[in-house]
Amino acid sequence: MTKRALHIALAGIITAASLIGVLLNGGLYLGTFRPEIFKTFTALSNAYVFVYYLPYFVRLLRGDSALHHPAWYLSAVVSIFQTGAVAAIFRMGAAAGSPKWFFTAMFYLHVAVPAAVLLEFLFFAERGKLKFRHVPLAALPLTLYGLTAVLGPLAGFTLGSGGARYPYPFLDVEALGVPMIVLILAASLAEILLISTVFTVYDKLLAKGQNKN
């Protein structure tokens, strides 16, 4: 297979896997719909990937330049990378013992899609379109989610599940206190900006190498 054919196949896998993961997690297997899944960044980031990669995949099939709106591309890559990283650190084995449909959904959302998107970015994406001005925009979805997750329960609505007021234990204001939450959010923002910058530098270095060739 040519590199372009592999790229098309990988983009198709990303599109399909993100949709399947969200639908399974949303209760498709049970014949229901659970809108509460969208209180988690896992579901939101995978939905974001699906929305971006579906037209991306179509453009690849047509033979066009696929990477439109590079700021949102970088944002999708960084968001799903964060989903995979947080799952690896905090949720390892969390789906063990769960029903097969839920375990499959978690595998798609936490492992398959983040890994496939990272692979697509590192080895197949069109080079030279990412700019340093895109870095703050790449952090926007995670920043807004973090603020909403923390401020939401204080404003009267919860993003938690199973009786929890907060979606993730490291965002629990009541348990950790405001100073610690502020520190966590600041550290998270710095980490997201750093990852976005590293990805942008990587893209620029590869673009420079391609131009020399």
18-74 tens-digit pLDDT: 999 999 999 887 788 888 888 889 999 999 999 999 999 999 999 988 788 999 999
pLDDT at position 158: 74
* Mean pLDDT along residues 164-178: 85
Asked if pLDDT for residue 160 goes beyond 70, the answer is yes
What average pLDDT is seen over the chain?
A: 88
Residue range 168-192: average pLDDT? 89
Backbone angles phi, psi at 160, to 5 degrees: -80, 175
Q: What is the mean pLDDT of residues 154-173?
A: 78
Q: What pLDDT is recorded for position 183? A: 94
Q: What would the mean pLDDT of 9-24 be, rounded to a whole number?
A: 96
C-alpha pair distances (Å), 40 with each of 6, 25, 52: 31, 11, 19
pLDDT confidence tier of residue 92, bands split at 50, 70 and 90: low
Residue 11 has pLDDT above 60, yes or no: yes
Structural domain including 181 reads 3-212
- Determine the pLDDT at residue 33: 83
- Distances 158 to 1, 25, 35, 182 between C-alpha atoms, Å: 48, 19, 13, 19
Q: How many domains does the chain have?
A: 1
Cβ(199)–Cβ(130) under 8 Å?
A: yes
Residue 102 phi/psi, 5-degree rounding, is: -75, -40
pLDDT on residue 95 = 62
Q: Is the pLDDT of residue 97 over 70?
A: no
